[in-house]
Every structure is written in structure tokens, then in C-alpha cells.
Amino acid sequence: MAINFEGIGPKLAINNSIEQQAIDLKKKALILHKGNDKAQALKASKDFESVYVGEFLKSIFPKNGGDNLFGGGAGENAFQSYLLDEYAKSVVNQGGFGIAKQVYTQLLKQQEVQK
């Protein structure tokens, strides 16, 4: 039985690797909800939202030029995505956009259906 993730936020134009991450997290969430572990379902929901928020932040920050966060250079270019991923996790841990809560609610509903 699939979980309906539609209607939990605006759609993003995302690249293949991020799209694959989202698919993997969705599969992980589906597997976890079968185990009926609320803590793991909450973590999977937060991970799912972190991917979304990370892509949102990447669209805001300049890539390879513009106003460089730490002075520019190859190091900044190489590690900017990691920094933005950590920013995304921080945003989600402080309440995020509400996506994790909605995904978590859907996971719990799916658990009830399967009981």
C-alpha cells in the first residue's frame, strides 16, 4: 500500500540525484511504517523534509560566483552543498516548513490501516 505524499507542499524542479534521495527516503518511510516504530517514522519524515528544504536553500544561495558566503574559492564550491544540507537539517529540527509533520501523520494513518 502506497502513501500519498501529494499536497504536502509545492513541487520543486530537482536533479536526478536529489530525486533519487527523495525516492529512497520514501521507500525507507514505507518500510519503517510496517515496523510500527514511531521514532523511526518521525526520523524518516524529518529526513524527507530535509531533502526538500535543502533543495529550497540551494535555489537561494548563489552557485559558483556572486556573493560568496566565505570568500569564494574551490573549497567553498566543494563544500557548499554540505553546508546547505546542515542548514536544512537545522531548519527542520526547529520546526521546518511542516512537511515532516504531514508525512509523519500520513505514516501513522497507514499504520492504522494495516492493523
Question: Could you report the per-residue pLDDT of 43-84, keeping only the tens digit for each?
Answer: 889 999 999 999 999 888 877 655 556 666 777 777 888 889
- pLDDT tens readout for residues 74-101: 777 778 888 899 999 999 999 999 999 9
> For the whole model, what pTM was predicted?
0.62
The Cα 45–Cα 31 span in angstroms is 12
**Which of 51, 53, 32 has the alpha carbon at shortest distance from 104?**
32
